[in-house]
Structure 1
């Protein structure tokens, strides 16, 4: 009996350790939680980064479609550059309490869909980071982390290095018409760096999408106190295409890309059919680089008076279902490829789905998953062009001598249209 108990305990520990080392990501764990926004308060939908010990804050907002009020708690945990837990005690990275309850909530008004909107700003008097780095924000119910509601990635920087970056055409001749290459120079003057190849790492991502990112672990060469990353084979990104978008700021009239709006016991929005955009040449379109904005043109406060609608999407992919499946993604669903974003095939040879979304302006795109290879491609249906306007985020991580954690010591933002 003791042997069985020992084996079960061993299996539990192995599973627990494996789970605890799983990288944290942006995720929503309950189907009734919708419209999660998380950004620097200086600008809606902005990258969720703040400077340590400054007046900057991020705001988290989300809706609970069950209505009423629930006991939601939150905390933050320090992580390394790869979003694994740093395994520090909360006293080492938090200035005050280890968790707090979300007290700011309001009920929806004059909407078909009833919901409760929750909101919290960080840092605050109860939860504040002590050291720079990556932090995962956790929201859970009844003070029990086993009842996880959602997680969001938070970046806390203490700027100790200078970052110079520029975007050029790819050095690969075959990719000149499709790819955008970033060249970086990191000046770490004044920083105690004993081994530049080990102590500093640079992560670069496109449009705040970690799945597009490259982790630079070694520079191309070192020039004095500068690390130069310009090798022909690194930081070479697919330009992709501008995002598609639709506008439901008003449900009283058809706006751009909307075919029909029905309002009865619920709101229904039917979008125009989307074509396959993998064309020979780039076409200029304006987008929000994958973001979404909760806006109600007919109300006063979209946080509580914007309504929800069943939004119907149709895609003429010019591909049969035997070849693969498209998924609809954007910042609004954390670019997740799952059953909620998967599209179905109809008898007319088109793919379709519907999503339950709050009023606003949404960017989205289609990702094609090939049946034979099971590989996901966000260019197969959208196209891939050097001319595409993109945002890039550059994050510099540093491990101090003798430290057990990594700090975020540099950040740079680039826009290919505003260099």
Structure 2
């Protein structure tokens, strides 16, 4: 644990939470709770998928009291059966616990056991695959808002294996939004701007500056979140968020990708496939892409999909392979490090995502154990001060196709929690 600077009575502390950096703030001697993040705490847990069952890989948001469900799936590489439980906790719009009693936000049991599991078949790497769908008859949220899903072993929350964020929507407002060229001249070639309009006619909003929060993020990436308060204009039951400095995002670049749906032939971006006691896949050399010229390539906005063309059911017969990435250093600075990120590793920047540099060939290398499928990924540069920025490696263009998630929260002065009252998904390729 490293202590940052002391300023007045406030402390800012950075801690390593299995590698990912989390902020904790305190006033005097009372510490605020650590915000919950998507994380995996046990290195034996791989290939965590979590989405609305309406579409594979969909954003994990469902309507309150609807028939919609979320699916959690993951593998345990220890191979044997383990006794896993899960529970839910309500959070505010900043992902701190709402400190509500379980009975207030959830009906059914306080936790439930994951009973749907399968052993791998015909794979070189043995594993056990687990799945659970909820809400179900045992666990069901009662109120809207942000939730954290916790999965732990033997009914003991001190033996946590993973956490996942999700959203329960109680629609009470209309959300209008569009992606436009930034007003700021210096961002027009590299950025994208999101303007938002909230129609709140059905809500009592006495003070928009304190009652409403609008959260915008790019491609489900938590590090891109922008929280909008106050609105630029208030007029006739509408809140307008379109200030010149508001919701300006780097357009970034299309994600890189590779395809290991089959291990019998080389497919997209595959250089060589080796088979010994396990599979090894060597990807083609990745160049630095920080030129001003934009080149379109199809991607999945950072997602990954577990798929297997060599078998019948990727859940149990998809194999694990060591995938070797190598990045040509190009004109990158000499002081700092390169990390590989994507939804497959929760965009987590830690020692597990760090590439090693080989000065003899002027390249960066990393080896990751990944299940068969299609993966999006990118590289990010981290300077010696710990600041991460993907643009020096990947570049940024206003033409890049991105998704934006717009979430609207409502909390009047007397309320004890943040309601999620509006949601809108934007895609820059679909007007």
Per the normalisation by structure 1, the TM-score is 0.94
1:261: Cα distance to partner? 0.2
CA distance in 2, matches of 1:192, 1:112: 60
CA contact (8 A) 2:332 2:393 kept: no
- The answer to whether 1:364 aligns with 2:377 is yes
Q: Among 21, 24, 34, which residue is 1:22 paired with?
A: 34
Superposed, which structure 2 residues align to 1:206-355 within 5 Å? 206-319=218-331, 322-346=334-358, 347-355=360-368
- Find the counterpart in structure 1 of residue 110 from structure 2: 98
- Find the counterpart in structure 1 of residue 11 from structure 2: none
CA distance in 2, matches of 1:193, 1:226: 10
Q: Per the alignment, do residues 312 and 18 of structure 1 end up closer, same or farther by CA in structure 2, a change over 3 Å counting? A: farther
Aligned residue for 1:380, secondary structure, equals helix
- Find the counterpart in structure 1 of residue 16 from structure 2: none
Q: Spell out, residue by residue over 1:298-324, the C-alpha distance to the aligned partner (whole angstroms, 9 max, x if none).
A: 111100000000000000021467322
CA contact (8 A) 1:74 1:140 kept: yes
CA contact (8 A) 1:105 1:117 kept: yes
Aligned residue for 1:112, secondary structure, equals coil
Aligned residue for 1:92, secondary structure, equals helix
Q: Among 134, 149, 157, which residue is 1:145 paired with?
A: 157
Q: Among 143, 151, 156, which residue is 1:131 paired with?
A: 143
Superposed, which structure 2 residues align to 1:166-245 within 5 Å? 166-245=178-257
Q: Spell out, residue by residue over 1:10-36, the C-alpha distance to the aligned partner (whole angstroms, 9 max, x if none).
A: xxxx9xx97771000000000000000
Residue segments in structure 2 that go unaligned for 5+ positions in a row: 1-25
1:413: Cα distance to partner? 0.3
CA contact (8 A) 1:161 1:410 kept: yes
Residue segments in structure 1 that go unaligned for 5+ positions in a row: 1-13
CA contact (8 A) 1:276 1:381 kept: yes
Q: Which moved more, 1:288-297 or 1:322-331?
A: 322-331
Aligned residue for 2:224, secondary structure, equals strand
- Find the counterpart in structure 1 of residue 4 from structure 2: none
> CA-atom RMSD, angstroms?
1.4
CA contact (8 A) 1:29 1:149 kept: yes
- Find the counterpart in structure 2 of residue 8 from structure 1: none
Q: Per the alignment, do residues 303 and 20 of structure 1 end up closer, same or farther by CA in structure 2, a change over 3 Å counting? A: farther
CA contact (8 A) 1:168 1:181 kept: yes
CA contact (8 A) 1:23 1:85 kept: yes
Per the normalisation by structure 2, the TM-score is 0.92
- The answer to whether 1:109 aligns with 2:121 is yes
CA contact (8 A) 1:249 1:359 kept: yes
Residues matched between the structures, number: 404
CA contact (8 A) 1:321 1:345 kept: no
- Find the counterpart in structure 2 of residue 5 from structure 1: none
